[in-house]
Structure 1
């Protein structure tokens, strides 16, 4: 199946390079003029967000550290899956998650995978200070879209595309409500309690 979308092919602007499945930019790129029947791959867009998958909060007012076995409450499951695809053949199909990992961060998991979707018991030590501590686990969710174009001497047509989303390694951490928010996942948790 093909998804032809004819368009004019001005030169690739802003000094951006163009190569099979390796062209990356902050905005949707425009295919450059190429010899007739040249097939090119390019990224249309990618996005990354920090997602909290489990979370639990405790208050210790004893003045002494306390060890506890607690239940991490499941909040969200993040999956690796394709959202839409049509005419996506060759590298654009087989290496989608690998290429997405280059854009988003460390190795993204493939189609059909997901973060743990159940509550989990774990042992923690709560500092001996007055205040609430929020413990959390999460991951980085990445999504993107890659397109396959055929460019002639005067115009280009989009022949296929594939979009999807995935996740990378789990992260664990804790924050205190009394301290400034951190970057990344910790900042996401902090916003839930602000």
Structure 2
């Protein structure tokens, strides 16, 4: 139930990044999804790490105050080739989650695999496929930017019944032929 007493729900999706944090806001009314807003919070490369994290935190706090989402969903970051990059990305993700929680929102978390599976039907889809499907699912006039598309896709995955990592199923999650499956 939303703030208006109806069955619509505003979901804010976040694709965290230290240089660019994507955001996407959708509304779910029954089975219908509607686009509300999307974009990016950009930090300055020459700023200190604390200043960049502060920019992400303030930007998301302002977005929540302006758009009043009911729920939020954030993409989980996994280890990549460069451990230092992974640590920095984790700090950006932490700043985003802290802003959402400080604004009174619960945070659902999704892996990129879960998001791609929910939106494209293939956990190993590329960025262009995600952009195109987000455009189609939300009836947008053009593809959103890659970061905004990933954030919108995270919100769509949440709207399609996910309630965060580990809550989609009653069993362990595995990848089989690019698809997320429950059980062995």
TM bracket, shorter-chain basis: under 0.3
TM-score calculated relative to the size of structure 2: 0.21
User: Is the strand fraction higher in 1 or 2?
Assistant: 1
Greater C-alpha Rg:
1
TM-score calculated relative to the size of structure 1: 0.20
User: Is the helix fraction higher in 1 or 2?
Assistant: 2
Higher relative contact order (CA 8 A, sep 6+): 1
